[in-house]
Homo-oligomer: A and B are copies of this chain.
């Protein structure tokens, strides 16, 4: 850790801080300069957190040398992790597509969708039972009834099921009915929920928050992994910026960054990432091309009557065309569609 002192800090004051660093078992370093004095602390600087050195009135700035996350870092786990949802692999040479409606509405809708996305080549089924909605006047999901429909259809059609969990109290029910948890953007820093999911063994798809940096996302994953569940799949779904032409700004730069810094699989949600039906296909192809491990795509039998997110959902023929168009990109990317 590098500690820049404020102008005017004396040698004696610096020495007091250096003694604290040494007391923690780290190697202290003193670098007096003409305008500023710089201190260093060598060793596992995560223990320095205990000192709260950034609070010190003489400290101008602190720069960590190491990343604040550890278990999810490629530094300590150089090989790609492969996470399986009900047997379906994510990561490595696989390219895997999860598809389904934003919200579970009723059995017929789910069943028709599951058949259609399976036929087109998707290997997992999504569908939300608990829907976090910006307005209290919007459809909030079917709850437990939705989970049951999802589970039944998943069994009948033979596609593992993925669904969002929004609260600790629901973890048991979701664990029973689904093959993987999804944590939505608004809950990416619901740390209590993350810890609880860390005690499960079922995989977690962790979506990036709208104001979350990639480092925040990796730290959120660290919460889950550090509780004992290594089965985390990251998901880029767009961040909030000044641009209003699209619902979110899909940050595909995050894909090579995550691949470089972490061993976890990362998928892309081009439906939320654009918010526009016509842009789902081009951005899905871009996701393959820049190294993503899969997709999360919204598909609905009749988007214009969908109870949520219809404007960004594909109907069955459009999803079929998307999957067909994706295959050659998956192939030239050196991947295999799972």
Contact = CB atoms under 8 A, between A and B. Distances in A.
Interface of A: 2, 4, 7, 29, 31-36, 38, 40, 42-44, 46, 49, 52, 54-57, 63, 65-66, 68-69, 75, 130, 132-138, 140, 166-169, 186-187, 189-193, 195, 209-211, 213-216, 219, 222-223, 226, 239-246, 249-257, 260, 273-274, 276-279, 282-283, 285-291, 303-307, 310-311, 313, 328-329, 331-333
Contact of A249 (B169, B241, B244): B241
A99 to B, nearest CB: 18
A331 B329 CA distance: 10
Contacts of A29: 29, 31
A189 B253 contact: no
13 contacts: A33-B42, A52-B304, A55-B304, A132-B189, A186-B189, A186-B190, A241-B241, A252-B252, A256-B274, A256-B278, A283-B290, A289-B329, A328-B332
Nearest to A220: B134
A241 B31 CA distance: 33
A249 B52 CA distance: 23
Given A56-B304, A256-B274, A285-B289, 16 more contacts: A33-B42, A33-B65, A35-B75, A52-B310, A55-B305, A55-B311, A57-B277, A132-B189, A134-B219, A166-B192, A239-B249, A242-B242, A245-B254, A256-B282, A289-B290, A329-B329
Contacts of A169: 168-169
Nearest to A35: B66
Nearest to A44: B34
